[in-house]
Amino acid sequence: MITFEGVTKRYPGGTVALDDVSLECPTGRITVFVGTSGGGKTTALRTINRMVEPTSGRVLIDGEDVREKRPAELRRGIGYVIQHAGLFPHRTIEDNIATVPYLLGWNKKKARERALELMERVGLDRTMAKRYPFQLSGGQQQRVGVARALAADPPVMLMDEPFSAVDPVVRAELQDEFLRLQDELHKTIVFVTHDIDEAIKLGDKIAVFQTGGKLVQVDSPEDLLAHPADDFVAGFIGQNRGIRTLSFATTSGLRLSDDAVRPGSAAAADAAGLDWVLVVDDERRPLGWTRPAGVEGTLAEARLDPVGATFRVGADSVRVALDAAVLSPAGLAVGVDGDGAVVGTAAGTDLLAVPTHGSSGPEDDG
C-alpha cells in the first residue's frame, strides 16, 4: 500500500503544487489520479519515487518512508511508464526492456530472456527484439514502455498519462490489454490521467485533484459518478454521468426475450405479426435484422439489415447493451453468449429498468 500523509509541495516562488494530500493507494489495485492540468496529480505521482521531494508530509510504501532508501535504489524497485514512452533511442527494444535488470546487475543472457518473455506478455512479436524504438509505431513503443517498467517485476508501478499520446483506437486496445495484464499481475498501480473516461475504465479507486494541488475526492468510480463531492467534481465528470453510471451495471440479470429471434429456415409468414425479426443460423449466430411483412418464402430469402453491435451477456455492461439497442434498426439490443450465439434481445427501456449501483439517490449537484 502507498500512503500519503499530509503531503505538501511548495515551490520557492510560492506556487503550491500539492496541498496537504492524504491518501491511500491499496496494494494490488489501480488508483487513478485525475484532475485538471496544474492540479498536482503528476507531482503527487513523483513524490512516490522521489523525483519530487515534498516540502512537508511523507509518502510511505508498505509502511516504509520512501526517504529511507537512496533515490536510485528506490526507483529500481518501482516501474515507471510515461506519456511518450521515453524509450532510449540508442538501445534496441530488448535492451530498453532490460534496462532495470541491467542496472540491478543481472547477467545479459538472463536480462534478455526476461525481455523476450515480457515482449510476448505485452503483445509484441519477438522479432522486434533487435529493432530500435523509432522503427515502432506509437502504440508499440508504449507497449515497450510497459514491458520496461515490468522488467524487474516491481510490486509498484507509476504510470503518467501512458496512453494519452496514441490515437483513440490504439488507446482503447492498450487500456484493455493493460487491464488483462493487471488481472494476472496484481501490481499496486498509481495511474495519472486527465481523461475521466480513462479513469473510470481503469480505476479501482479514483482521486480527483483540483488546481492548487487539493485532493477533493477519493472514491470508487461508481461512487464518484453517483455522489460527486462538489461542483468541481461534478463538472469534471461531465454531462453524461448518468449514462456513465450504466458502465457499472451488469447485464447478467437481464431478462432477454426470444420472441423476435427466428432461424433462417422459418417461413416469413409465421412472423408476419412482428415489426422486426432477428434471423439466426443453425448455431443461433445472428445473421441480420429483417421486416417479415410482405416477404415470400423463408426468412433466409429476405433482405437482411446488418446486426451491428451486440453485447455479451454477463460480460458487457448495460451501457454497452444500451449502445447496441440505440444503434440497432429494430431498437433491440442483441445479447450473445461467449460463442457468439444469440441469447435473446432486449429493448432500450428494459435495459434502463436494471437497478444500478449508483442510482440510489435523486441528488443532483449540477
Partner 1 sequence: MDIDWAWIGDHRDTLTEHALIHLRLALLPVVFGLLISLPLGVLCRRWGWLYPPTLTIANVLYAIPSLALFMIFIQYTGLTASTVMIPLTLYSLSVLVPNVVDGLASVSEPVRQAATAMGFGPLRRLLRVELPIAVPIVIAGTRVAAVSSISLVAVGQLIGQGGLGYDIIRGYQLQFQTQIVAATVLIVLLALITDALLVTLQRVLTPWARARGRAA
Contacting positions for partner 1 (CB under 8 A)? 49, 51, 71-76, 78, 80, 82-91, 99-100, 103, 132-135, 145, 148, 158
Q: Give the residue with the Cβ less far from partner 1, 54 or 145.
A: 145
Q: What CA–CA distances, in Å, run from 241 to 59, 219, 270?
A: 33, 15, 43
Q: Give the residue with the Cβ less far from partner 1, 85 or 320.
A: 85
Q: Give the residue with the Cβ less far from partner 1, 147 or 346.
A: 147
Side chain identity at 63, as an amino acid letter? G
Rounded distance between C-alpha atoms, residue 8 and residue 197, angstroms: 28
Question: Least CB distance from residue 240 to partner 1, whole Å?
Answer: 32
Looking at the DSSP assignment, which residues form a beta bridge with residue 206? 32, 219
Question: Least CB distance from residue 95 to partner 1, whole Å?
Answer: 11
- Among 357, 288, 271, smallest CA distance to 329 is for 288
Question: Least CB distance from residue 37 to partner 1, whole Å?
Answer: 16
Rounded distance between C-alpha atoms, residue 183 and residue 185, angstroms: 6
- Among 82, 78, 66, smallest CA distance to 153 is for 78
Q: Give the residue with the Cβ less far from partner 1, 46 or 201.
A: 46
Contacts of 364 (CB under 8 A, 6+ apart): none
Contacts of 272 (CB under 8 A, 6+ apart): 292, 293
Q: What CA–CA distances, in Å, run from 40 to 8, 26, 197?
A: 10, 20, 19
Q: Give the residue with the Cβ less far from partner 1, 151 or 260.
A: 151
Q: Give the residue with the Cβ less far from partner 1, 118 or 271.
A: 118
Question: Least CB distance from residue 288 to partner 1, whole Å?
Answer: 45
Question: Least CB distance from residue 159 to partner 1, whole Å?
Answer: 11
Question: Least CB distance from residue 180 to partner 1, whole Å?
Answer: 24
Q: Give the residue with the Cβ less far from partner 1, 34 or 100.
A: 100
The C-alpha angle 184, 98, 166, rounded to 5 degrees, equals: 65
- For the chain, how far is it from start to end, CA to CA, in angstroms? 34
The C-alpha angle 317, 255, 362, rounded to 5 degrees, equals: 60
Kind and range of the H or E run holding 78: strand 78-82
Kind and range of the H or E run holding 19: strand 16-25
Q: Which residue has the cell 509484441?
A: 124
Question: Least CB distance from residue 130 to partner 1, whole Å?
Answer: 10
Question: Least CB distance from residue 115 to partner 1, whole Å?
Answer: 14
Q: Give the residue with the Cβ less far from partner 1, 51 or 287.
A: 51
